[in-house]
């Protein structure tokens, strides 16, 4: 999605709900492009791409309202740097 806004959402999940099932449900939300299961203080890292802040806000609200998600914090991507392999 060119000219899109990217946001990472870090989520803490309910230990009584399988993390994989929460991930599958989150991927059904329009705008969610990837979900990673993590160790540490966050259980999930969710990548959201959307054309507008309003659309991003709708996705963030949908993630927060998802069953099994206890807490979610969003991180707006300001710039991206990547190594280009030859």
Give all domains of the chain, ordered by start, each with its CATH number. Answer: 5-76 (3.30.70.920)
Tokens 């969003």 sit on residue: 74
Q: Which of 9, 5, 10 is nearest to 50 (CA)?
A: 5
Question: What is the C-alpha separation between 14 and 30, in angstroms, rounded?
Answer: 23
CA 23-25-28 angle, 5° bins: 110
User: Which pLDDT score is estimated for 41?
Assistant: 96
- State residue 86's pLDDT score: 72
> How much is the pLDDT for 36?
98
pLDDT of residue 69: 98
The DSSP code for 52 is S
Give pLDDT, residue 17.
97
CA distance 72 to 84: 32
Model confidence, pTM: 0.90
Digit-by-digit pLDDT tens for the chain (86 residues) are 457 899 999 999 999 999 999 999 999 999 999 999 999 999 999 999 999 999 999 999 999 999 999 999 999 999 999 998 87
């Amino acid at each position: 999605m060119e000219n899109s806004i990217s946001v990472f959402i870090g989520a803490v999940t309910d230990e009584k709900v399988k993390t994989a099932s929460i991930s599958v449900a989150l991927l059904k939300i329009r705008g969610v492009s990837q979900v990673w299961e993590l160790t540490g203080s966050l259980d999930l890292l969710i990548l959201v791409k959307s054309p507008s802040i309003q659309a991003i806000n709708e996705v963030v609200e949908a993630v927060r309202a998802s069953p099994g998600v206890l807490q979610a914090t969003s991180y707006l991507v300001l710039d991206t740097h990547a190594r280009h392999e030859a």
